[in-house]
Amino acid sequence: MPAWSVIAPYWPNLVSGFWITVQLSFWTLLLATPVALAIALIRETGPRWAALPLSLLVNAVRLLPALIVLYVVFYGLPQFGVRLKPFTAATLGLVAMGAAYMSEDMRGAIAAVPKGQLSAAAALGLPRAHAIRRILLPQALPLMVPPYMTRAIIMVKGTSLASMVSVADLTAEATRASSITYQPYVFLLIAGAFYLALNGVLALLQALAERHLRLRYRTAA
């Protein structure tokens, strides 16, 4: 293991890169989650004229490599006069990818709830939005949590692609230090430890959320 003197000059940059990764992960999850839920609800409960275009859009994004999506946002939008900072461009690209994948996970959970319940609510005169909020989503939520949190962890790992569009994130700083010192395994191990810590928090949140929902619905039963 190299001496600390080898790592020390790059440590501040690694910490700074980790903080950028945390911010990128936070904004990606924060923005992608409501977009994904809206897409899933429209595709499952909305009118066909709205569901069909969303289905085509989601599948188009899912079939493209994530790096291509980032390149389209970062290099493509300026061709139309829209210039974004690297962090903003990376966030938008990751949100697009995350929302597409998350919407499929959420749609599967929503589809598992019997459709007859919404019909029954409509027959009782309940507004559709109220029925979705009070009947559909409470039943779909426990089914959403495991795939949603798994997808969140995948999205956090996917933020490493932001380094390809000039974002000085954790991967970018670890790669830069590796290329200068010719000791890639050291800095990649450090970067891996940072990613493990960040995703470990998400895994813990998943366990706590599943436990809370399990106790809640057991008590309600």
Q: What is the tens place of the pLDDT at every residue in 5-36? A: 788 899 999 999 999 999 999 999 999 999 99
Residue 113 pLDDT grade (very low, low, confident, very high; cuts 50, 70, 90): confident
Task: Look up residue 208 and give its two tokens.
Answer: 């706590």
Is pTM beyond 0.85? Reply is yes
pLDDT at 191: 94
SS3 64: coil
pLDDT at 23: 97
pLDDT for residue 194 is more than 50: yes
Task: Look up residue 182 and give its two tokens.
Answer: 């010719």
Chain CA centroid to CA 188, Å? 23
pLDDT for residue 221 is more than 60: no
pLDDT at 26: 96
Residue 3 pLDDT grade (very low, low, confident, very high; cuts 50, 70, 90): low
pLDDT for residue 217 is more than 70: no
The rounded distance, in Å, linking the Cα atoms of 152 and 150 is: 5
According to CATH, what is the number of the domain 4-217? 1.10.3720.10
Answer yes or no: are the C-beta atoms of 44 and 54 closer than 8 Å: no
Answer yes or no: are the C-beta atoms of 187 and 14 closer than 8 Å: yes
Q: Tell me: the pLDDT tens digits for 119-171?
A: 787 787 778 787 888 888 888 888 899 999 999 999 999 999 999 999 999 99
Task: Look up residue 177 and give its two tokens.
Answer: 């230090």
Q: Tell me: the pLDDT tens digits for 51-100?
A: 999 999 999 999 999 999 999 999 999 998 899 999 999 999 999 999 99
pLDDT at 2: 58
Residue 215 pLDDT grade (very low, low, confident, very high; cuts 50, 70, 90): confident
Can you tell me the mean pLDDT for 191-215? 90
Sequence ranges of the domains in the chain = 4-217
Q: Tell me: the pLDDT tens digits for 50-59?
A: 899 999 999 9
